[in-house]
Amino acid sequence: LRRGRPTVHKAFDEATAILAGDALLTFAFETLAGEATHPDPQVRLALVSGLARAAGMAGMVGGQMLDIAAESQTGQTLEDITLIQSMKTGALFRFACEAGAILGGADPSPLRQYAEKIGLAFQIADDILDVESTPEALGKATQKDKGLGKATFVDLLGLEGAKARAAALVAEAVSALEGFDDRAATLDEIARFMVTRRK
Protein backbone atom coordinates (compact mmCIF):
# COMPACT_ATOMS: atom_id res chain seq x y z
CA LEU A 1 0.00 0.00 0.00
CA ARG A 2 0.95 3.62 -0.61
CA ARG A 3 -1.31 6.39 0.69
CA GLY A 4 -3.89 3.74 1.49
CA ARG A 5 -4.08 2.40 -2.06
CA PRO A 6 -2.48 -0.66 -3.67
CA THR A 7 0.86 0.06 -5.36
CA VAL A 8 1.05 -0.23 -9.15
CA HIS A 9 2.68 -3.67 -9.09
CA LYS A 10 -0.16 -4.94 -6.87
CA ALA A 11 -2.99 -3.15 -8.68
CA PHE A 12 -1.67 -4.25 -12.09
CA ASP A 13 1.56 -6.27 -12.31
CA GLU A 14 5.34 -5.87 -11.99
CA ALA A 15 5.88 -5.33 -15.73
CA THR A 16 3.40 -2.44 -15.75
CA ALA A 17 5.05 -0.94 -12.65
CA ILE A 18 8.52 -1.10 -14.24
CA LEU A 19 7.28 0.41 -17.50
CA ALA A 20 5.40 3.17 -15.65
CA GLY A 21 8.58 4.03 -13.74
CA ASP A 22 10.61 4.03 -16.95
CA ALA A 23 8.03 6.26 -18.64
CA LEU A 24 7.99 8.78 -15.79
CA LEU A 25 11.78 8.95 -15.57
CA THR A 26 12.25 9.44 -19.31
CA PHE A 27 9.46 12.04 -19.29
CA ALA A 28 11.42 13.94 -16.62
CA PHE A 29 14.45 14.02 -18.94
CA GLU A 30 12.24 15.12 -21.84
CA THR A 31 10.83 17.95 -19.73
CA LEU A 32 14.25 19.16 -18.53
CA ALA A 33 15.69 19.04 -22.06
CA GLY A 34 12.82 21.05 -23.56
CA GLU A 35 13.21 24.73 -24.47
CA ALA A 36 10.21 25.59 -22.31
CA THR A 37 12.28 24.70 -19.24
CA HIS A 38 14.95 27.35 -19.91
CA PRO A 39 16.13 29.21 -23.03
CA ASP A 40 19.82 28.50 -22.35
CA PRO A 41 20.86 25.02 -23.56
CA GLN A 42 23.73 24.97 -21.02
CA VAL A 43 21.24 25.33 -18.18
CA ARG A 44 19.12 22.52 -19.62
CA LEU A 45 22.24 20.37 -19.98
CA ALA A 46 23.14 20.98 -16.33
CA LEU A 47 19.63 19.93 -15.28
CA VAL A 48 19.66 16.76 -17.39
CA SER A 49 23.13 15.87 -16.14
CA GLY A 50 22.10 16.49 -12.53
CA LEU A 51 19.03 14.28 -12.80
CA ALA A 52 21.06 11.53 -14.50
CA ARG A 53 23.48 11.49 -11.54
CA ALA A 54 20.68 11.60 -8.97
CA ALA A 55 18.67 8.82 -10.60
CA GLY A 56 21.52 6.59 -11.79
CA MET A 57 24.17 4.37 -10.26
CA ALA A 58 25.58 7.16 -8.07
CA GLY A 59 22.10 7.94 -6.76
CA MET A 60 18.70 6.27 -6.58
CA VAL A 61 19.47 3.12 -8.61
CA GLY A 62 22.79 2.50 -6.87
CA GLY A 63 21.25 3.12 -3.46
CA GLN A 64 18.38 0.77 -4.21
CA MET A 65 20.85 -1.94 -5.24
CA LEU A 66 22.74 -1.50 -1.96
CA ASP A 67 19.41 -1.63 -0.13
CA ILE A 68 18.50 -4.92 -1.81
CA ALA A 69 21.95 -6.33 -1.00
CA ALA A 70 21.42 -5.34 2.66
CA GLU A 71 18.45 -7.68 3.04
CA SER A 72 19.26 -10.24 5.73
CA GLN A 73 22.81 -8.85 5.91
CA THR A 74 24.04 -8.79 9.49
CA GLY A 75 26.33 -6.21 11.02
CA GLN A 76 25.05 -3.15 9.16
CA THR A 77 26.45 0.06 10.61
CA LEU A 78 25.09 3.57 10.86
CA GLU A 79 27.48 4.54 8.06
CA ASP A 80 26.06 1.75 5.87
CA ILE A 81 22.44 2.81 6.16
CA THR A 82 23.32 6.51 5.96
CA LEU A 83 25.07 5.85 2.63
CA ILE A 84 22.13 3.82 1.30
CA GLN A 85 19.57 6.46 2.23
CA SER A 86 21.77 9.33 1.01
CA MET A 87 21.88 7.65 -2.38
CA LYS A 88 18.24 6.56 -2.55
CA THR A 89 16.10 9.32 -1.08
CA GLY A 90 18.81 11.91 -0.57
CA ALA A 91 20.00 12.08 -4.18
CA LEU A 92 16.54 13.03 -5.42
CA PHE A 93 16.07 15.58 -2.64
CA ARG A 94 19.46 17.05 -3.57
CA PHE A 95 18.64 17.32 -7.24
CA ALA A 96 15.23 18.88 -6.59
CA CYS A 97 16.89 21.62 -4.51
CA GLU A 98 19.91 22.09 -6.78
CA ALA A 99 17.64 22.42 -9.82
CA GLY A 100 16.15 25.62 -8.41
CA ALA A 101 19.63 27.10 -7.99
CA ILE A 102 20.64 26.01 -11.50
CA LEU A 103 17.52 27.60 -13.01
CA GLY A 104 18.09 30.79 -11.04
CA GLY A 105 21.82 30.99 -11.75
CA ALA A 106 22.66 30.80 -8.04
CA ASP A 107 25.23 28.88 -6.01
CA PRO A 108 23.70 25.44 -5.34
CA SER A 109 25.90 24.69 -2.28
CA PRO A 110 23.54 25.94 0.48
CA LEU A 111 20.57 24.19 -1.09
CA ARG A 112 22.62 21.01 -1.52
CA GLN A 113 23.53 21.05 2.19
CA TYR A 114 19.90 21.69 3.08
CA ALA A 115 18.70 18.82 0.89
CA GLU A 116 21.25 16.35 2.26
CA LYS A 117 20.05 17.05 5.79
CA ILE A 118 16.32 16.89 5.09
CA GLY A 119 16.75 13.75 2.98
CA LEU A 120 18.23 11.91 5.96
CA ALA A 121 15.76 13.50 8.39
CA PHE A 122 12.92 12.29 6.15
CA GLN A 123 14.24 8.72 6.20
CA ILE A 124 14.81 8.71 9.96
CA ALA A 125 11.27 10.05 10.46
CA ASP A 126 10.03 7.25 8.19
CA ASP A 127 11.84 4.68 10.35
CA ILE A 128 10.31 6.23 13.48
CA LEU A 129 6.80 6.16 12.00
CA ASP A 130 7.37 2.54 11.01
CA VAL A 131 7.71 1.76 14.74
CA GLU A 132 5.23 4.21 16.26
CA SER A 133 2.39 4.23 13.73
CA THR A 134 -0.01 1.74 12.15
CA PRO A 135 -0.64 0.67 8.54
CA GLU A 136 -4.05 2.37 8.74
CA ALA A 137 -2.58 5.71 9.83
CA LEU A 138 0.37 5.57 7.41
CA GLY A 139 -1.51 4.19 4.43
CA LYS A 140 1.25 1.60 3.90
CA ALA A 141 2.60 -1.53 5.55
CA THR A 142 4.82 -1.10 8.60
CA GLN A 143 7.79 -3.14 9.85
CA LYS A 144 8.78 -4.12 6.28
CA ASP A 145 12.50 -3.50 6.84
CA LYS A 146 12.42 -5.64 9.97
CA GLY A 147 10.79 -8.45 8.00
CA LEU A 148 13.57 -8.25 5.41
CA GLY A 149 16.30 -8.22 8.05
CA LYS A 150 17.44 -4.68 7.19
CA ALA A 151 18.79 -2.34 9.86
CA THR A 152 17.06 1.01 10.35
CA PHE A 153 18.09 4.22 12.08
CA VAL A 154 15.82 3.24 15.00
CA ASP A 155 17.57 -0.14 15.30
CA LEU A 156 21.00 1.48 15.48
CA LEU A 157 20.23 4.67 17.43
CA GLY A 158 17.23 3.62 19.50
CA LEU A 159 13.90 5.44 19.24
CA GLU A 160 14.91 8.49 21.27
CA GLY A 161 18.34 8.62 19.62
CA ALA A 162 16.71 8.54 16.18
CA LYS A 163 14.35 11.37 17.15
CA ALA A 164 17.28 13.43 18.42
CA ARG A 165 19.29 12.77 15.24
CA ALA A 166 16.35 13.79 13.03
CA ALA A 167 15.85 17.00 15.03
CA ALA A 168 19.58 17.80 14.76
CA LEU A 169 19.50 17.27 10.98
CA VAL A 170 16.54 19.63 10.67
CA ALA A 171 18.42 22.27 12.67
CA GLU A 172 21.44 21.83 10.37
CA ALA A 173 19.19 22.10 7.30
CA VAL A 174 17.62 25.33 8.55
CA SER A 175 21.09 26.68 9.39
CA ALA A 176 22.22 26.07 5.80
CA LEU A 177 19.51 28.51 4.66
CA GLU A 178 20.54 31.43 6.88
CA GLY A 179 21.85 33.48 3.96
CA PHE A 180 18.41 33.50 2.32
CA ASP A 181 16.59 35.26 5.20
CA ASP A 182 12.78 35.22 4.80
CA ARG A 183 13.02 34.02 1.20
CA ALA A 184 13.63 30.50 2.55
CA ALA A 185 10.59 30.46 4.85
CA THR A 186 8.85 27.74 2.86
CA LEU A 187 11.97 25.56 2.82
CA ASP A 188 12.29 26.11 6.56
CA GLU A 189 8.71 24.88 7.04
CA ILE A 190 9.37 21.84 4.84
CA ALA A 191 12.42 20.91 6.93
CA ARG A 192 10.43 21.12 10.17
CA PHE A 193 7.56 19.15 8.64
CA MET A 194 9.94 16.25 7.95
CA VAL A 195 10.01 15.32 11.63
CA THR A 196 6.46 16.34 12.63
CA ARG A 197 4.54 14.55 9.86
CA ARG A 198 2.33 11.68 10.89
CA LYS A 199 2.35 9.82 7.58
CA-to-CA distance for 180 and 158, rounded, in angstroms? 34
Residue 130 resides in a domain: yes
Phi-psi region of 9 (alpha: psi -120 to 50; beta: other; left: phi over 0): alpha
Q: Is 2 a member of any domain?
A: no
Does residue 140 belong to any structural domain of this protein? yes
Cβ atoms of residues 180 and 110 within 8 Å: yes
Residue 24: inside a domain, yes or no? Answer: yes
Judge whether 1 lies within some domain: no
3 lies in a domain? no
From the list 153, 122, 128, the residue with the least C-alpha distance to 142 is 128
Q: Tell me, what's the pLDDT at 151?
A: 87
As a whole number of angstroms, the distance between CA 81 and CA 129 comes to 17
pLDDT of residue 146: 75
pLDDT, residue 142, reads 79
Residue 55 lies in a domain: yes
Q: How many CA atoms lie within 13 A of 102 on its CB side?
A: 23
Total domain count for the chain? 1
pLDDT at 84: 95
Q: How far apart are CA 134 and CA 131, in angstroms?
A: 8
The pTM (predicted TM-score) of the whole model is 0.88
- Boundaries of domain holding 191: 8-196
Residue 174 lies in a domain: yes
| pLDDT tens-place values along the chain, 199 residues long | 677 788 898 899 999 999 999 999 999 999 999 999 999 999 999 999 999 999 999 999 999 999 999 887 888 999 999 999 999 989 999 999 999 999 999 999 999 999 999 999 999 999 999 998 878 887 777 777 777 778 899 999 999 999 999 999 999 999 999 999 899 999 999 999 989 988 8
User: CATH number for the domain including 24?
Assistant: 1.10.600.10
pLDDT of residue 1: 66
Number of CB atoms found within 10 A of residue 58's CB:
13
Q: Amino acid identity, residue 45?
A: L
